[in-house]
Amino acid sequence: MRLEFLGAAHTVTGSCYLLETQERQFLVDCGMFQGSKRIRELNYENFPFNPAGIEAVILTHAHVDHCGLIPKLVKDGFKGTVYATQATCDLAQIMLPDSAFIQQSDAESFNRKNQRRGEEPVEPIYSLEDAAEALKHFVSVPYEQEFMLGDNVKIKFFDAGHIIGSAIVDLQITEGDKTTKLVFSGDLGQPKQPIIKDPAIINGADFLVVESTYGDRQHKLYDKETKLLEIVNDTMDRGGNVIIPSFAVGRTQTLLYYFHNLWKQGRLDGDIPIILDSPLAINATRIFMKNFQDFDEEALQMFGDNGERLTEFPQLRICKTPEESRALNSSEGSAIIISASGMADAGRILHHLKHNLWRPESTILFVGYQAEGSLGRRLVEGIKRVRVMGEEVAVKAQIQVLNGFSAHADTNQLMEWIDNFQKPKPAKIFIVHGEAQGQEFLKSRIQKEYQGEAYIPFRGDAVVIHGRACELQPSNIPEVSVEVEMEEQLAIFDAEYRNLRHKVLQLAVRQPKTMEPLLKAITKGFNYLKKLFAPFNI
């Protein structure tokens, strides 16, 4: 068989893996690329395979970076089946039309500008009609129930604990007299999240494809409800708004869970409005309520078989129409506004950022991963001026980050999960869905602590698998060759930097009087680096 890495390779989004056996071709995920313009442009490229020849898509979960190109796949000739859990199928019913609406709206906006410039119009990646057609291909399969593709591919979904319906994919493929087990982690959740169950433990695999979003980071263990409450109270005391860019699926429901709990305990001021301003998040929350069978025991005890209690507290307001959303920015008083998108790149959140970023009394609270190139990432990194909806805005609001809310396992949790793969240990572990630094860190840990072989594939890399043996076929994509060479040089630079950093830190600890001149040297060096890279607009 042959496994090709077509997305989430040396990047966090665009999850897509092509599996080819002698009899069939199928995909694990078919996700959209998100983030910088260069990354997003990959969505417009032709698939590097014939969509009509793909028998099935095995979908890990409903986030757009895992399912968002399925309508394009169908538009280009796919006639097979998309297999997913029930909650994922339900969520896809709202996620894909929403994505199509964004594609069409963006295309209309570009075309208005292009017309004035005398340039050719652009087409959306896919339409609402394409999304509706794609949804006809979805078939739901329960967790841990085996199903087949033909006679030689057995598949099972296990709970990934990331969002409701998220799945680890267990594939057992028989070719000749050899059966090979491949496991795809999908997006792996961190244990003890509210509402959903912990990730399932898998005991062994011949090959493992594992995500690495937080491959080099560790979530802080702290009382999230109390910290959330502190940020809210501090902002209310200043007379500002708490603006929370939140992913519509997963993160929003976690926030509602915490606010519901704080209200129930009497710790949250009953006069503070909590406004849910995202049609997608509103619909996603309804789907969470419907799929209470996937709740963990704590959530079942709190809500029973009535998930609607999640939204049954008097402070919560549902903002349905665009007019209601815009009115929030002219209303008096302070409020907590939860709105999408989670990386602040699109949606109603942009209006709230435009009206609050310049206000020092307001707080912009990030509760999730911010991809490289996104507006959220730039705000978290401390940018002082940003362009929002065509207008330059000064950043004077407090920018706060609560990383512990992440739906992704951190480096220790990833290693604990991987450590359960013992019968057998994977012959090779492929590290995907992450940025370079996190992937390299996780690779080093796997090799040193787990004593496993690990490889970080580039887009277009493939492996030919025979039982537990595999042969790498490097990518022939020209831009990937550039990326490989640049990665090698940056790795050398990074090693030198880490060595220098260690020496500087040790000198400052041993000789505290050197701290001030060392800081001056660091500032001078950093400014010189910025000057060197200024011609490249980095």
Are residues 414 and 439 in contact, defined by beta-carbon separation less than 8 angstroms?
no
pLDDT at 365 over 60: yes
Token pair 């490097």 in the structure block, residue: 474
- Between 132 and 35, the more confident residue is 132
Q: Is the confidence at residue 534, as pLDDT, over 60?
A: yes
As a whole number of angstroms, the distance between CA 87 and CA 91 comes to: 6
Clarify whether residues 107 and 58 are in a common domain: yes
Whether the per-residue pLDDT at 396 is higher than 90: the answer is yes
Share of the chain above pLDDT 70, in %: 96
- Amino acid identity of 431? I
Distance CA 483, CA 464 (A): 23
Claim to verify: residue 209 and residue 235 sit in the same structural domain: no
Average pLDDT of span 389-418 = 91
Per-residue CA distances from 316 to 47, 256, 311, 336 (Å): 44, 9, 7, 10
- The pLDDT, as a whole number, for residue 60 is 98
Nearest to 495 by CA among 442, 441, 446, 418: 441
Q: Please state, rounded to an integer, the average pLDDT across all residues of the chain.
A: 90
- The rounded distance, in Å, linking the Cα atoms of 258 and 164 is 17
Closest CA to 410 of 255, 192, 245, 224: 192
Q: What six digits make up the tokens of 215?
A: 């491959």
Say yes or no: 303 and 349 in one domain. Answer: yes
Q: Which of 377, 401, 425 is the last residue of a domain?
A: 401
Asked if 384 and 413 sit in the same domain, the reply is no
CATH number of the domain enclosing 117: 3.60.15.10
Model pLDDT, residue 372:
73
Say if residue 113 is exposed, middle or buried (CB neighbours under 10 Å; 0-12, 13-18, 19+): exposed
CATH number of the domain residue 233 falls in: 3.40.50.10890
The torsion of the CA quartet 377, 383, 385, 387, rounded to 10 degrees, works out to -20
Residue 259 CA, chain-centre distance (Å), reads 23
| pLDDT beyond 60 at 133 | yes
Residue pLDDT, tens place only, 195-211: 899 999 999 999 999 99
Among 477, 503, 525, the domain boundary falls at: 477
Positions of E strands within 21-62 = 25-30, 56-58
The band of 222, judged by pLDDT with boundaries at 50, 70 and 90, is confident
Residue 14: pLDDT band with limits 50, 70, 90 = very high
pLDDT one-digit tens code per residue, 51-93: 999 999 999 999 999 999 999 999 999 999 999 999 999 999 9
Number of domains in the chain: 3
Closest by CA to 409, choosing from 446, 442, 437, is 442
Which range (110-124, 328-342, 366-380, 386-400) has the least confidence? 110-124
> Given this model, what pLDDT does residue 488 score?
66
Dist. CA 313–CA 222, nearest whole Å: 25
pLDDT band at 327 (very low <50, low <70, confident <90, very high): confident
Q: Kindly list the distances between the CA atom of residue 236 and the CA atoms of 9, 24, 167, 233, 350, in Å, as whole numbers in the listed order.
A: 43, 59, 39, 5, 21
Band (pLDDT 50/70/90 cuts) for residue 512 is confident
With 80 as the cut, is the pLDDT of residue 401 above it?
Answer: yes
**Quick one: pLDDT band at residue 2, thresholds 50, 70, 90?**
very high
User: What's the CA gap between 71 and 97, in Å, rounded?
Assistant: 9
Question: Can you give the residue range of the structural domain that contains 305?
Answer: 224-401
pLDDT, tens digit, 9 for 90 and up, residues 166-189: 999 999 999 988 999 999 999 999
Residues 396 and 411 grouped into a single domain: no
Query: Distance between CA 214 and CA 459 in Å, rounded?
Result: 20
> For 53-88, b where at least 16 C-beta lie within 10 A, e where not — what string?
ebbbbbbbbbbbbbbbbbbbbbbbebebebbbbbbb
Domain boundary among 430, 458, 477: 477
pLDDT at 309 over 70: no
| Angle in degrees, CA 253, 132, 338, rounded to 5 | 20
Asked if the model's pLDDT at residue 451 lies above 60, the reply is yes
Q: What is the pLDDT of residue 437?
A: 87
For the cut 70, the answer to whether the pLDDT of residue 478 exceeds it is no
Q: Which residue has the tokens 């937080």?
A: 214
- Only one residue has tokens 């793969």, namely 421
Do 323 and 200 lie in a common domain? no
- pLDDT above 90 covers what percent of the chain? 58
Determine the Cα angle at 434 with ends 294 and 372, to 5°: 110
First and final C-alpha spacing in the chain: 42
What is the DSSP secondary-structure string of 355-390? HHTT-TT-EEEE-S---TTSHHHHHHTT-SEEEETT
The sheet carrying 2-5 orders its strands as 138-140, 81-84, 56-58, 25-30, 16-20, 2-5, 462-466, 469-473
| Residue 265 clears pLDDT 80, i.e. is over it | yes
* 7 and 156 assigned to the same domain: yes
Which one has a higher pLDDT value, 296 or 469?
A: 469
The predicted model gives 225-233 an average pLDDT of: 94
- Give me the pLDDT at residue 483, please: 62
